[in-house]
Amino acid sequence: MPQPIFAGLSAFPLTPADEAGRVETEGLQRLLKRILDADVQSIGLLGSTGTYMYLSREERRRAIAAAVECVNRKVPIIVGIGALRTDEAQALAQDAAKEGADALLLAPVSYTPLTEEEAFRHFEAVAGATDLPLCIYNNPSTTHFNFSEPLLERLAGLPTIQGVKMPLPKDADFAGEIARLRAVTPVGFMIGYSGDWGAAESLLAGGDAWYSVVAGLFPSQAAALTRAATQGQATEVDYLDKAFAPFWRLFKAHGSLRVVYAAANILGLTDAKPPRPILPLSPDLTPAIEAAIAALEG
């Protein structure tokens, strides 16, 4: 029986682009080939790490086409389709389907804060725009909208919505949160987490997926951590997680997006910079990032 698409390790790469926002497709494919060499269960294209909100519709479509060509159905591609307007998100969903995406990831992007009814109707409309499975992207740190458990229950009843990408719980009670969500969502609804430094703990607690920033650059190491956690090997998880600790500290201090751009530059994978107004990290941090890389690759 095939593994559900919203389960296991999902690696989220950068989307290299020039200063005008034109996607560097060769650079993107270089990052994707690195991911394909590892044991990942999906690729999260155009997520927050993939700077989807900084790219035009046409450039998003070019990125999807380049990814589908490179990946060639070896692993599923989950495409981020967040947009301010519902009709724009529907069009992005349809673009992704036409270009060969396997699944969709939708965040409730907004300027005016959304009510729960507005969020539900937005997701209902976008989920109905294609037949592709859709994962709810609960990312309150960027969208300033946090899904209540009753809203997740309601959304999970829609036929194409099959999973949720959750932030780390503030009380770190993964087991409690997972149990509450399982009690109100259908069998087979996948509950995964982002927030790399807590994801292994979420898998040990019974979470279904790790939506990982770091796996976009270090997929083999992230895959080893995922395997240990899904097999309940707490001692091995603790050992492997120590190698990631320098990155976790950098992510918390400077934001994972800035750090992975700097790390990708140091590794020679791309010379692309974050989209303005986001600025590259100070060169003063280069030794710390090099040390974090050495901890994983040593």
Q: Which residues are catalytic?
A: 137, 165
Q: What are phi and psi of 268, to 5 degrees?
A: 75, 20
Q: Tell me the C-alpha distance between 224 and 226, whole Å.
A: 5
Please tell me what DSSP assigns to residue 277. T
Range list of H helices, 128-195: 140-143, 149-156, 174-184
Sign of the alpha-carbon dihedral angle for 182, 187, 189, 195: positive
Is 226 annotated as contributing to ligand binding? no
Q: Tell me the C-alpha distance between 214 and 191, whole Å.
A: 19
Q: Which helix (H) or strand (E) holds 67?
A: helix 57-71
Cα–Cα distances (Å) from 223 to 8, 197, 217, in that order, read 9, 14, 12
Helix (H, G, I), strand (E, B) or coil at 76: coil
Q: Tell me the C-alpha distance between 53 and 85, whole Å.
A: 12
Please tell me what DSSP assigns to residue 23. B
- Per the annotation, binding residues are 49
Q: Detail the residues annotated as belonging to a binding site for pyruvate.
A: 49
